[in-house]
Amino acid sequence: MSSMRLTGTPSWLSIRRRAAVPHCGDTGLGDRPGPARRIWAIGGGKGGIGKSFLAVNLATVAARTGCRVLLVDADLGGANLHTCLGMRSGDRVNLSDYLQDRVVDLEKAAIETPVPGLRLIMGTLGHTGTAETSREQREHLFQAVSELPVDIVVFDLAAGASRATLDFFLETDEGVLMATPEPTSIENVYAFLRGAFYRRLARAMSTSPIRDLVRDAMDRRNECGIRTPIDLLQEIDRIDGDEGSRFRQVLHEFRPRLVVNQVRNSEEVKLGFSIRSVCRKFFGIDVEYVGYINFDDSVWRSMKECRPLVLAYPQSDAALYVRRIVSKMLGT
């Protein structure tokens, strides 16, 4: 299906063609000295739904506003951001080199891309490195990333909800969940969200009996009848009020963003609102629906040409929707 303009969409999602994308200085980031200020991660569970496409294009738009942007290909084992940017992996330094101490300075792994202002830390393809990372390695990486002199870091995550992927999602300031209007993708997004929330919660609880309770609750067939975070909160409140307060804090701070991709009609646009309501009602989690992207032939054309959509087809509808998501994320 070729590109199309969606009609009947909610007013806050209406397209505004911008004469120019705002400069990074307009975001309030440009004039603040110091290291990485915003760290985004694109996840969502299911494979092949457009996570890498979004990561590359968000990063490109942000770089075009004048921000110093770093893309990190955290899809270890299935890395392909370099290809999306028209680069060859060759024998360049990649994330595995850093994780396995072959490169000590992370900055050396951040290579220039054809997009001015955008650097990339390449991931690895299965045969050239390992897809496994330990918790210590991930923490070390996050520490190093947050010290780099850049404005925005964008992590592209692997499919699935492995511990490593959930940790990458949780460590960032802003995790973006991506879903497409298909039952399998929607199911995966809920599973991912649930896994991420419980993982974050288990870390926040300070007493081990409560941590055990959280771990039990993660098993949907747990015997204490806990089905949702709300059930769990009631149980924790009953046992330990302080831990209950910590739980509320986690609920309050956990605010993933949501993007619905490959939308074909205005009905599908509403999926984002349904997911948001379900998360609120059953999980007590506030998800922010930051926008959707239509199904657009320009996307796969740009992927085939190994160029970011926003540069290859800047006037396409999908490029407009991507730019609008960046504006929303940057609050401009």
Site for ligand ATP in 267-296 (CB under 6 A): 293, 295-296
DSSP code for 127? G
Q: Which of 29, 62, 75, 76 binds ligand ATP (CB under 6 A)?
A: 75
If phi > 0 it is left, if psi is from -120 to 50 it is alpha, else beta; for residue 75 that is: beta
The whole-angstrom separation of Cα 309 and Cα 12 is 24
Binding at 38: pick from Mg ion, ligand ATP, none (beta carbon under 5-8 Å per type): none
Q: Does 126 bind ligand ATP (CB under 6 A)?
A: no
Give bridge partners of residue 73 from the DSSP assignment: 156
The whole-angstrom separation of Cα 141 and Cα 99 is 7
CB of 189 to Mg ion, least distance (A): 15
Cα–Cα separations (whole angstroms), residue 54 to 62, 85, 261: 12, 12, 9
Is residue 128 within 8 A of residue 87, CB to CB? The reply is: no
Q: Does 1 bind ligand ATP (CB under 6 A)?
A: no
CB of 71 to Mg ion, least distance (A): 12
CB of 47 to ligand ATP, least distance (A): 3
Site for Mg ion in 9-68 (CB under 5 A): 51-52
Count of Cβ atoms closer than 10 Å to residue 65 Cβ: 25
Site for ligand ATP in 15-54 (CB under 6 A): 47-53
Burial bucket for residue 182 (CB in 10 Å: 0-12, 13-18, 19+): middle
Residue number with CB closer to ligand ATP (28 or 47): 47
Q: Does 180 bind Mg ion (CB under 5 A)?
A: no
Binding at 318: pick from ligand ATP, Mg ion, none (beta carbon under 5-8 Å per type): ligand ATP
x/- binding map, residues 225-254, to ligand ATP, per CB under 6 A? ------------------------------
Element (H, E) at 292: strand 288-294
Binding site for Mg ion (CB under 5 A): 51-52
